[in-house]
């Protein structure tokens, strides 16, 4: 269990803080972006991202977990049917906080917290595919072990060199078998 934050809580007591964050999360999912103080936005971010992760799962248990925080069934429906599918390819980082200056009345630092609804960039998708290919390539030579001590390790050989090596290894074996048949 995480330790509670030090210092004053939002609103005074822990129950009031949970209610404030639940209302902020509801407004965020309803409107897509809200303007609030920096402190509230920073405290809202982990809660909102956890709720979006539940919505990405999409099962009944996840919906009930979200309903314990967000009491409005219409907002939960929007979260599960509209917001979660747009976040399906994204691996975290569902919200963005932008500082917007100070409030006029009490000079409190303000921020806009919004949902990141843009699709994941194609560059990131290409990088992900390249990482998968690199991990597969790293696993493949590690599985192969050199048969003799005078052979090069598989990691240093190129695919063309491997094809030539197998062709030359098979040719003497075939020649030796042919010679044995002719001698017999």
CA 148 centroid distance within chain: 43
pLDDT in tens, 11-45: 888 899 999 999 999 999 999 999 999 999 999 99
Give the lowest-confidence range in 36-50, 52-66, 150-164.
Answer: 150-164
Complete DSSP assignment for 156-175: TS-HHHHHHHHHHHHHHHHH
Range 41-58 average pLDDT: 96
Who wins on pLDDT, 68 or 177?
68
H/E element, 76: helix 73-78
Residue 48: what pLDDT?
97
| Local structure of 33: helix, strand or coil | strand
Give the lowest-confidence range in 80-89, 126-135, 153-162.
Answer: 153-162
Residue 84: what pLDDT?
96
Q: At which residue do the structure tokens 């982990």 appear?
A: 46
Predicted confidence (pLDDT) at residue 162 exceeds the cutoff of 80: no
The per-type count for the chain, helices as H runs and strands as E runs, is: 7, 3
Write down the pTM of the prediction: 0.66
| Local structure of 97: helix, strand or coil | strand
Range 120-135 average pLDDT: 78
pLDDT in tens, 82-125: 999 999 999 999 999 999 999 999 999 999 999 999 888 777 66
Question: Considering just the CA atoms, what is the radius of gyration of the chain in Å?
Answer: 30
Rounded to an integer, what distance in angstroms lies between the CA atom of residue 37 and that of residue 24? 11
């Amino acid at each position: 269990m995480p330790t509670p934050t030090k210092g004053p809580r939002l609103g005074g007591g822990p129950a009031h803080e949970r209610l404030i964050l639940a209302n902020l999360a509801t407004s965020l999912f309803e409107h897509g972006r809200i303007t609030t103080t920096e402190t509230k936005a920073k405290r809202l971010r982990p809660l909102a991202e956890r709720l979006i992760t539940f919505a990405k799962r999409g099962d009944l248990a996840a919906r009930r977990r979200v309903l314990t925080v967000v009491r409005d069934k219409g907002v939960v429906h929007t979260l599960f049917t509209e917001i979660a599918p747009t976040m399906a390819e994204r691996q975290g980082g569902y919200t963005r906080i932008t500082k917007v200056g100070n409030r006029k009345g009490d000079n409190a630092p303000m921020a806009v917290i919004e949902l990141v609804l843009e699709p994941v960039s194609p560059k990131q998708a290409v990088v992900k595919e390249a990482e998968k290919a690199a991990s597969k390539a790293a696993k493949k030579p590690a599985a192969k072990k050199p048969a003799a001590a005078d052979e090069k390790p598989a990691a240093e050989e190129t695919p063309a060199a491997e094809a030539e090596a197998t062709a030359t290894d098979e040719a003497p074996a075939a020649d030796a078998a042919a010679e044995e048949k002719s001698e017999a």
